[in-house]
Amino acid sequence: MWATDITYLPMARGFVFLVDILDLYSRKTRAWRTSTTMTTDFCVEALEEALTRFGCPEIFNTDQGSQFTAEAFTDVLKAHGVAISMDGKGRWVDNVFVERLWRSVKYAEVYLHAYDTPKEADRALSRYFAFYNTRRPHQALDQRTPDAVYYAATGLKQAA
């Protein structure tokens, strides 16, 4: 089961929006994108990348935001035979794993820096998500990394 959500990230001037596709079992970030606008296209791009790189989950959970209820987004999931699950209205706790990711991203990376441009934010987030997936141990994963859990579960070899 995968989940997604959008958050905003403050910059020195203004902010960017961040969407992340998260595997709930391993807590592995599958794909992410930033955008200066709350359109559906950057969410669809992240979803398509995750599906291309990792295959299809059985279930995909989102909130009821307009980006995730848009046909452009749901049609991609339907075309791949993925069951769509949506949080109840006002039920942030339904997507608590993504909310915890936002806390980690913001406190361990974003709030420590004042990005000047969206490109600078993208470069920093790229480094952070690589760290998050490959080197950051998670208490909920018995101090293993998301990659260690993912590769152990799939039987695939982890890149050195």
Q: How many domains does the chain have?
A: 1
111 vs 158: which has the higher pLDDT: 111
Q: How many residues does the chain have?
A: 160
Q: Does a structural domain hold residue 11? A: yes
Q: How confident is the model at residue 92, as a pLDDT?
A: 60
Q: Does a structural domain hold residue 130? A: no
Q: Does a structural domain hold residue 160? A: no
Do residues 24 and 2 make contact, with C-beta atoms less than 8 angstroms apart?
A: yes
How many whole angstroms separate alpha carbon 5 and alpha carbon 20? 6
Q: Would the pLDDT of 151 be above 60? A: yes
Q: How confident is the model at residue 138, as a pLDDT?
A: 87
CATH number at residue 36: 3.30.420.10
Q: Provide the whole-model pTM.
A: 0.90
Model confidence band, residue 153 (pLDDT cutoffs 50, 70, 90): confident
Read off the pLDDT of residues 107-123 as tens digits, 9 standing for 90 and up.
Answer: 999 999 989 999 999 99
Paired tokens of 106: 């913001």
Q: CB under 8 Å to 77, separation ≥6 — which residues? A: 47, 60, 84
The strands making up 83-86's β-sheet, listed across from edge to edge, are: 29-35, 15-23, 2-10, 59-62, 83-86
Q: Does a structural domain hold residue 94? A: yes
